[in-house]
Amino acid sequence: MKKTAKRIYLDHAATTPVDPAVVDAMLPYFTTYFGNASSLHSFGVEAHEAMEAAREKVALLIGATADEIVFTSGGTESDNLAIRGVAWKQRAKGRHIITSSIEHPAVLETCRSLETCGFRVTYLPVDGFGVVDVERVRKAITKDTVLISVMHANNEVGTMQKIGEIGEAAAKQGIVFHTDAVQTVGKIPIDVEKMNIGLLSLSSHKIYGPKGVGALYIREDVEVEPILYGGGHEKGLRSSTENIPGIVGLGAAVDIAKERISADMKEQAMLRDRLIKGVLEIERSRLNGHPVQRLPNNANFGFEGIDGEALLLHLDQAGIAASTGSACSSRKHSTSHVLKALGVPDALARGSLRITLGRSTTAEEIEYTVSAIHEGVNRLRRMSPTWHS
Ligand SMILES: Cc1ncc(COP(=O)(O)O)c(C=O)c1O
């Protein structure tokens, strides 16, 4: 492995760089068009028009209409608004929620907080690849069920769920279906109508837009209780002066994503497959997640006898930025709840490595990364007093 002075970023599931065209689109909204979108004067009108143009773009990307889009501060807030919003609005009808055991903490912790307020939550198990069985979803539905929330793709292992089928099962019983699509919007085509989605969360910083902005799609017939009260912005669903530069940035990021979606998917899946092939040549290594039903930019590996963090440090020294799992859990040093739910033994889960590709990833970077991983794993195993090949 030749040492490189260049840094290689392979942690796009954690966040993406802001596209320079997105920055250009945003800049005038900090200084020239800085108005408050609620103001009636021309400054306010300019801001309002820009916001509505962005709303239209987001809606079009997922097959919704503009009045079904609420801007939020990101994926976490969208998940909270969707789940708490439906739960509180429909509490007279029922207090049961169905979700999966591998959701992002933004969903899991929201559900747990509702359990302390008298709601009952079913956390569905997944199979060894991280797939939720649609039949289990159907069987978990009770007369009391008001919401089903299952993510489109998992942020750690990249497994994609059959959300169209889950949406159909929910629709047949008249239950609202929410999906956390933070890892898929802009990467995988989505049609909320065809997939029977009632609510969908998305986040700008995963699609080359700025941090601190996202959106929740709320189908026109779905009622939610706000979680933020105040001046009644976003039709009373999300009070607080709108983040116009952020919203404009999200709109610009959506424009670019729409243009590039199929080419990006193809290119990244091809590079991901090269990466997987090269890394799995390492003895006693495995791919976590589904072999084919997975995000085009995600590969998650397990290595026997390796501490994932030591491997990350080795890669960091080689100029490669990767992750052991999700960005939020990487500072907590706990075993991933996702790998646990997949039944990955603790020893292997501790040696996990998540590589997530992006638009700038090249074949040379992947080749360099494969050899850096080989070298890192071999070195760490050689140093281990307990490793026997
Ligand atoms: C699947 C998923 N949901 C929700 C979030 C939270 O999004 P945000 O960082 O915009 O709050 C993330 C971010 O990592 C995610 O991957």
Q: pLDDT digits over 108-165, tens only?
A: 999 999 999 999 999 999 999 999 999 999 999 999 999 999 999 999 999 999 999 9
The C-alpha atoms of residue 317 and residue 311 are separated, in whole angstroms, by 10
Task: Give tens-digit pLDDT for 119-131.
Answer: 999 999 999 999 9
Helix (H, G, I), strand (E, B) or coil at 384: coil
Cα 103 to middle of ligand 1, angstroms: 10
CB of residue 184 inside a 6 A radius of ligand 1: no
CB of residue 72 inside a 6 A radius of ligand 1: no
What pLDDT, on a 0 to 100 scale, did the predictor assign at position 221?
98
Cα 104 to middle of ligand 1, angstroms: 7
- Provide the mean pLDDT of the chain: 95
The residue nearest atom 8 of ligand 1, judged by CA position, is 75
CA torsion 188-250-258-77 (nearest 10°) is 20
Nearest to 221 by CA among 193, 247, 183: 193
Per-residue pLDDT at 2 exceeds 90: no
Those residues with Cβ within 8 angstroms of residue 92's Cβ, 6 or more apart along the chain or in another chain: none
Q: What is the mean pLDDT of residues 212-232?
A: 98
Domains and CATH numbers, the chain: 8-17+261-383 (3.90.1150.10), 20-256 (3.40.640.10)
Residue 283 tokens read as 């003895």
Per-residue pLDDT at 72 exceeds 70: yes
Could you identify the atom of ligand 1 that is nearest to the CA of residue 327?
14
Task: Give tens-digit pLDDT for 356-386.
Answer: 999 999 999 999 999 999 999 999 999 988 8
CB of residue 104 inside a 6 A radius of ligand 1: yes
Question: Tokens 């103001």 sit at which residue?
Answer: 39
What is each CA distance from 142 to 86, 132, 175, 301, 381, in whole angstroms? 16, 18, 10, 37, 50
Model-level pTM? 0.96
What pLDDT, on a 0 to 100 scale, did the predictor assign at position 335?
84
CB of residue 246 inside a 6 A radius of ligand 1: no
Per-residue pLDDT at 389 exceeds 90: no
% of the chain with per-residue pLDDT over 70: 97
Among 156, 203, 205, name the best residue to mutate to test ligand 1's pocket (greatest count of ligand atoms within 8 A of Cβ): 203
10/348: higher pLDDT: 10
Task: Give tens-digit pLDDT for 234-255.
Answer: 999 999 999 999 999 999 999 9
Cα 384 to middle of ligand 1, angstroms: 35
What pLDDT, on a 0 to 100 scale, did the predictor assign at position 94?
98
Residue 134 tokens read as 């649609």
- Please report which confidence band the pLDDT of residue 177 belongs to, taking 50, 70 and 90 as the band edges: very high
Residue 376 tokens read as 């890192």
The C-alpha atoms of residue 324 and residue 311 are separated, in whole angstroms, by 9
What pLDDT, on a 0 to 100 scale, did the predictor assign at position 4?
55
The residue nearest atom 5 of ligand 1, judged by CA position, is 75
Q: Exposed e or buried b for every residue in 85-104, given b needs 16+ CB within 10 A?
A: bbbbbbeeebbbbbbbbbbb
What pLDDT, on a 0 to 100 scale, did the predictor assign at position 346?
87
Give the pairing of strands 199-203 and 214-218.
antiparallel
The C-alpha atoms of residue 179 and residue 169 are separated, in whole angstroms, by 14
What is the residue type of 182?
A: V
What is the residue type of 118?
A: G
Cα 105 to middle of ligand 1, angstroms: 8
Among 104, 178, 179, name the best residue to mutate to test ligand 1's pocket (greatest count of ligand atoms within 8 A of Cβ): 104
DSSP 144: T
Cα 75 to middle of ligand 1, angstroms: 5
CB of residue 298 inside a 6 A radius of ligand 1: no
Which residues belong to the active site?
A: 328
CB of residue 182 inside a 6 A radius of ligand 1: yes
Q: What share of the chain is helix, strand, coil (3-state, %, to 5)?
A: 40, 15, 45
CB of residue 351 inside a 6 A radius of ligand 1: no
What pLDDT, on a 0 to 100 scale, did the predictor assign at position 46?
98
Q: What is the mean pLDDT of residues 28-40?
A: 98
Report yes or no: 367 and 296 within 8 Å, Cβ to Cβ.
Answer: no
The C-alpha atoms of residue 337 and residue 209 are separated, in whole angstroms, by 28
Cα 388 to middle of ligand 1, angstroms: 39
Task: Give tens-digit pLDDT for 295-336.
Answer: 999 999 999 999 999 999 999 999 999 998 755 555 555 789
What pLDDT, on a 0 to 100 scale, did the predictor assign at position 59?
98
What pLDDT, on a 0 to 100 scale, did the predictor assign at position 3?
56
Alpha helices, H only, 152-210:
163-172
